[in-house]
Amino acid sequence: MKKMGLQDEELAFLRDLYVSCRRQGLGRARSVYVVPYALGVPAKTIAHALDCREPTVREHVTEAYRAFDVDNRNALYRRMLRRISPMESRRRRGRRSDNPLRRLDDQDQGRRPFD
């Protein structure tokens, strides 16, 4: 199924981000503003696409920052990924155990690997 040129995986990922916003207590309308913003779309572009003013988009994003307890776009995106599910989040970011340098770094600092 292709909608707007997106593959099934991409649609599922967008849906998962939307659901993570809803789980965090954001309303449907607010989630529509926040998901594209977290993915890196400028507020001006979102405002134009949703036929609203840029301050409206910024207001919704500010409320999302409060809900997710973050202070920037990258932190918002990472927090949204964590809210999807542990397995989905790990699959998208890559497992820590897949990186041998990370394991060596953990051992050098006296920590147990994979903590």
For position 91, what pLDDT does the model report? Answer: 52
Angle between helices 28-38 and 8-23 (to 10 degrees): 120
Return the bridge partners of 6, or none.
3
What are the mean pLDDT values of the chain's consecutive 10-residue runs (115 residues total)?
A: 62 85 86 90 91 94 92 90 63 48 47 47
| Nearest residue to 20 via CA among 76, 91, 94, 92 | 76
For position 11, what pLDDT does the model report? Answer: 80
Q: How many CA atoms lie within 13 A of 55 on its CB side?
A: 0
